Chain A
Amino acid sequence: MQRHFGFSIFLSLLPALLLFATFLALPFFTILVTSFFEWNARGLTFNGGANYLELWDSRSFTSAIRNTAIWVGAAVLLHVPLAVLVAIILSRRLRGWKVFRTLFFLPNIVSYSALAIVFLGFYNARYGALNMVLADIGLEHLQTDWLFNFNTALYALIATWIFHVGLYMIIIMAEISSIPEDLYEAATIDGASEIDQDLKITLPLLRNVIGTCMILTVTQSLIYFEGIFLTTSGGPANATLNLSMATYRAFENFDWGEANAIGMHILTLGVVAIIVIRRLFRIGEHDFD
């Protein structure tokens, strides 16, 4: 009887296991193994760790790591905090809060590709809206080719994405609505202001969900590709090159082993980030029942 039960559990898990093996385990294993090979049109040739050594010695890979770190930093220090701030403000249900919630969420239902094309026009050096506005307000000296100036390109690209906080805002608002109302009532009786309540009740109780949002935003930053590919392709002079774009470039140069070695870096950084964030935010631990 017990044997039959075990077999039926195995059978019920089989589809999921097959999917896991096909779409996750096998690709991961392929990436890992082939990152130690020279893989191009001629086929596969084992080259030890040469792909990794070449990467660590390459200027473009250093740029990709630096740019990815800046992107992740912006995600952690600006993206999620902005989402928390907006969520807390909207959770007070001030007049028109539903309209603002919708407006903040709208960019999330537009594809990154479409947004990239819009921003390509917005930043254009010849007819872009940004330069026109700067001219209108007497700041002509700030006009530049935003996406193709080495000093502004990365930040201009980050700005296209950093304000799209809608998804995290919705997640955080849902968590705020689950905080017991009596905590706020008790605080009000004790004379705590709204800001005190936000800082001492809401924020600490959002620890779990903020941690989750951090994991989502960091992993998303590590694999962000479409917006860069469709605007700057990693240029000028690698100013906007991140790890995903570097992977594509290696693929483009028919250096698939190197592309997979970069892929292993993305994977490792992602796993490390998840572990660190889980520890920092003690994700899974409950503050109240």
Chain B
Amino acid sequence: MRRHVRHFAATAACALFAFPALAQETEITWATFWVGTNPLQPWGERLIEGYNSTFDGQFHVVTEEIPGDQAYRDKLRADSVANALPDLITGNVTLMRDMRDSGRVVNLMPFLEADPEWLASFYDDAFDNYITEDGELYALPYSRDYIGIYYNTAHFEAAGIDYPTTWDEFFAACRSLSEAGFVPMATEGNWTTRLMWANMIGTQPGGAEWMSNPGAPGDIELTDVDAVVAGTELLRRMYTEGCTNEDAFTTQYSTGATLFLQAEASMIANGPWMIPNIMGVNTETADGLGEDIAYGLSPGNGLIIVTGEAGFAIGSQDEAEIEASVAFLKYLTSDEQMLNQANLVSRFGPTRVNFTQEQRDALSPMLLSIVEQSEGIDHAFPHTGIALPNEMIQEFINTWPIYAQGQIDTATFLEILEDAQ
């Protein structure tokens, strides 16, 4: 027996010497919610395969799957307090801010500065959402989104109207679409409603500037800002004039999205990541929906443009794991992966990638169309999730129904939001 053990130990030792890479491979964990039916799942899968094969024997990434972005956020927050963050974390700006506040994520700027080519590949404004006043970069963006309004051209044709370019035209279009038997604008009282709120504020005079720099959390004023007041009243008008679905307060994304994907609603505000769903990927849609949908600007000739809607942070504290994680981020933002992202989940990245004509032709026409339209806009602004603190957003979701239903006036509504920050 002892001879067998000795023999086995010797064989194992020889194997390790013969394949030193096996002994040195650094394994990192990526806690991810890009699983199941999440729109980013196909890209995530490709990313892991590509990274593990590119760095075979040197680095290896494994996933800790946490389905649902809410559950993911709760778990990561608990992990940060317990000082037990995974090596790689991904999430939206709110979660990344939580990670920043925990002081337990790695400052990525030194790694970028050490690789000038990598640093130069990013757009100039790419880091705006993730850089601190001290110049520390607590997360790396992986997306640059053009968030417009999807509209069903068949509905507009049936109603005998064109897609609106001003807010007056928008409300007239709502009336025509309603008369034609469609729900004009699909909303749910949360994400898509807030996108419309951003559009309505951002296209007011001075609105885009305010949205881009509303002030520090705790000092943000709403009631004294004309663009905010006007935009908020437009949003209420959208509800009172019957532009939106009757069940517009459920706060469940599926409420509005299902209406649009089943061709019952004519418009919905959302990001380009919805394109695969519209094309029927992992989603039940009305027959031929993809052919009828176009992607347009906000009335008022504005567009939500966000670099770094979401990002990646490194939670590791071990040098080897940090090195492997940085390699992952470099791989994530490589031209190859940015092209994969655009192809698989219809999303552009934060880096300057020159796609060949052939590569561009393979991308979604809706995605290309919104980028092309963005070149002629009057107003570019972020959405409320970027501009406003989480407490204010939560209070918006909470109070919006009674404001829309006319139980409080605009000043009171905005004061309540101010108090929440």
Q: Chain B residues near A252 (CB, 8 Å)?
A: 394
Q: Do A126 and B246 have beta carbons less than 8 Å apart?
A: yes
Q: Do A238 and B398 have beta carbons less than 8 Å apart?
A: yes
Q: Do A256 and B246 have beta carbons less than 8 Å apart?
A: no
Complex: A43 Cα to B82 Cα, angstroms: 9
Q: Do B103 and A125 have beta carbons less than 8 Å apart?
A: no
Q: Do A235 and B251 have beta carbons less than 8 Å apart?
A: yes
Chain B residue at minimal CB-CB distance from A230: B252
Q: Do A234 and B81 have beta carbons less than 8 Å apart?
A: no
Interface centre among B251, B397, B398 (most CB of A within 10 A): B398
If the complex has contacts A40-B101, A253-B394, are A150 and B401 also in contact, measured as CB distance less than 8 A? yes
Nearest CB on A from B317, distance (A): 16
Q: Chain A residues near B99 (CB, 8 Å)?
A: 41
Q: Chain A residues near B390 (CB, 8 Å)?
A: 253
Within 8 A of B (CB), among A134-154: 145, 147-150
Q: Do B402 and A150 have beta carbons less than 8 Å apart?
A: yes
Within 8 A of A (CB), among B358-387: none
Q: Do A249 and B402 have beta carbons less than 8 Å apart?
A: no
Within 8 A of A (CB), among B386-408: 390-391, 394, 397-402, 405, 407-408
Interface residue tally on B, bucketed by range: 20 to 34
Complex: A236 Cα to B400 Cα, angstroms: 8
Please give the number of chain A residues whose Cβ is less than 8 angstroms from any Cβ of chain B in the complex. Answer: 27
Within 8 A of A (CB), among B137-187: none
A237 proximal to B (CB < 8 A): yes
Q: Do A236 and B402 have beta carbons less than 8 Å apart?
A: yes
Q: Do B249 and A256 have beta carbons less than 8 Å apart?
A: no
Q: Chain B residues near A150 (CB, 8 Å)?
A: 401-402, 405, 407
Q: Do A42 and B405 have beta carbons less than 8 Å apart?
A: no
A262 proximal to B (CB < 8 A): no
Interface centre among A43, A149, A254 (most CB of B within 10 A): A254
Complex: A237 Cα to B245 Cα, angstroms: 20
0/1 per residue, A16-57, Cβ < 8 Å to B? Answer: 000000000000000000000001111100000000000000
Q: Please pick, from A148, A235, A238, A254, the residue contacting B77 in the complex, using a CB distance under 8 A.
A: A254
Q: Please pick, from A42, A127, A147, A254, the residue contacting B103 in the complex, using a CB distance under 8 A.
A: A42
Complex: A270 Cα to B407 Cα, angstroms: 34
A242 proximal to B (CB < 8 A): no
Q: Do B102 and A41 have beta carbons less than 8 Å apart?
A: yes
Q: Do B101 and A41 have beta carbons less than 8 Å apart?
A: yes
B213 proximal to A (CB < 8 A): no
Q: Do B102 and A236 have beta carbons less than 8 Å apart?
A: no
Complex: A249 Cα to B391 Cα, angstroms: 10
Q: List 5 A-B contacts (CB under 8 A).
A: A41-B98, A235-B401, A237-B399, A238-B398, A253-B394
- Taking Cβ atoms with an 8 Å cutoff, the residues of B that contact A are 74, 77, 80-81, 98-99, 101-103, 189, 245-247, 249-251, 390-391, 394, 397-402, 405, 407-408
- Taking Cβ atoms with an 8 Å cutoff, the residues of A that contact B are 39-43, 120, 124-127, 145, 147-150, 233-238, 249, 251-254, 256
